[in-house]
Amino acid sequence: MRARKATVELQYNGAAVKTSLKEFGEAFSYTDPAGGSSDSISLTVGDPRYQWISAWLPHKGDQITAKISFADRDGDDKTTTLDCGMFTLDDLSYSDNGGKAAFKMSGVSAPALDAFSATERTQNWEKVTLKKVAQTIASRYKLQLVFDATDVSISTQEQSSATDSSFLNQLCNDYGLMLKVFRSKIVIFDREKYKKKDPVATIPREEMSSFSWNTTLAGSYTGGTITYTDPKTKKDVTYTTGGGKRLLKSSTKADNLADAKRKIEAAVTSANHSITTISFQTMGRPDLCAGQTIMVTGVGRLSGKFYIDKKTDSLTSTSYTSKIEASQVPTTSDAVIVDAIQRLAAIGVINSPGYWIGKHKSVKYLDDLLLQMATTILVNHDTGLYTGNPQEALDALVKYGVINSRDYWAANMGKLQYISDLICKAANALPEIIQ
């Protein structure tokens, strides 16, 4: 489902806001992070009659409830609502440039102005579990706790001059869990567990108005070493997980070896989460949210399964877009290869997609070849120059950059029926200008 037309419905301190985006030239954005921070909104309104700095002047701490209503583009006039939740205004600003006045309000879903994120506490937690700590803190602020992870036993943990918000977030980080506050809930979940879930949608390159990709070794690790003092023997204990040259080193408190093991493995996993990331903008996608996985296709070897770290919905009087920021889930996905095969079939390079879907794992690197062909060959020029001549076809594919290992395919094209035909058809699809 895609949004064709969208509007924002707001309630301000419980009362409906009747203004329209068109009338006041407003811009609205809703940011949905998977964890580590709260959901947030930003609303900018034009103020030609200076009402927002007089009778309508908002105050920090006021409550706004926001919903995005959208009509599906399939023409059935069905209206669906995305409930963004309730937000506490925590930042207000006003500008007037030559009579073009605008008022901007920003809010977070966390209880921003109370003790949850403002008051520092000192407390010793003894013989508890992470879930018990979270439940105690949630109850202080009348928030519901949603705990979707394996619980952790904690012998002792000191909260030293830390807000409940920062303390609980750090405690979750120590054990590889994510924390999020939204819709009057504290949600704690296991990101690695969520990354294993099936993708909720496939996003082809054609649906993206912009796309960026990055991969880096900086901040990534092949293993880790933790040193802690055993509470019983008072001796230092060192535990190492993984190996290689890039080891994450940690010196932190641990109750025992099992506790130390979980903490260092969580630290390494967390550090490696964003080794490869993408960011793209598409037409409004109210059906997606942070914490889900998606399949990205049509971007060659950059395609694959991704975990949504953050989603930002932006609305103006004329547009509704979604920006997705996501991290790659390291896995080889058949869906990416199937998409590549279907793209080649659509332009006539492949006549029997079912055959190649069933056989793409039969020869080493065949899936890479199909993916590279689909990424490079977008139009079938059908020159017929290489029919029945796979060796010259290989030369053309090398020249065009479709393959970079001519000798390999010259030696292995006979390992599966029709590979030579595939190579000839792919070369025939190339423009004659490169001959």
Architecture of domain 194-216+275-328: Beta Barrel (2.40)
Q: What is the pLDDT of residues 91-138, one digit of tens each?
A: 999 998 877 888 899 998 866 546 788 889 999 999 999 999 999 999
The highest-level CATH class for domain 3-108 is: mainly beta
Strand ranges (DSSP E) for 13-149?
15-17, 27-33, 40-46, 63-72, 79-97, 100-108, 120-129, 144-148
* Average confidence (pLDDT) over 154-170: 93
Q: What is the pLDDT of residues 167-179, one digit of tens each?
A: 999 999 999 999 9
How would residue 75 be classed by pLDDT, with cut points 50, 70 and 90?
A: low
Same fold flag, 115-193 and 194-216+275-328: no
CA–CA separation, 188 vs 195, rounded Å?
15
How are the residues of the chain apportioned to helix, strand and coil, as percentages rounded to the nearest 5? 30, 40, 35
DSSP string, 91-129: EEEEEEETTEEEEEEEEESS-TTSHHHH-EEEEEEEEEE
Average pLDDT, the chain: 88
Architecture of domain 115-193: 3-Layer(bab) Sandwich (3.55)
Which residue type does 147 have? F
The pTM (predicted TM-score) of the whole model is 0.82
**pLDDT reported for residue 1:** 43
**Domain spans in the chain, listed from the N-terminal domain onward:** 3-108, 115-193, 194-216+275-328, 223-272, 334-434
- List the structure tokens of 112: 């921003």
Indicate the helix (H) or strand (E) that contains 423. Answer: helix 419-428
Q: What is the pLDDT of residues 181-223, one digit of tens each?
A: 888 889 999 999 999 999 999 999 999 999 999 998 888 898 9
Half-sphere exposure of 174 (CA within 13 A, CB side): 20
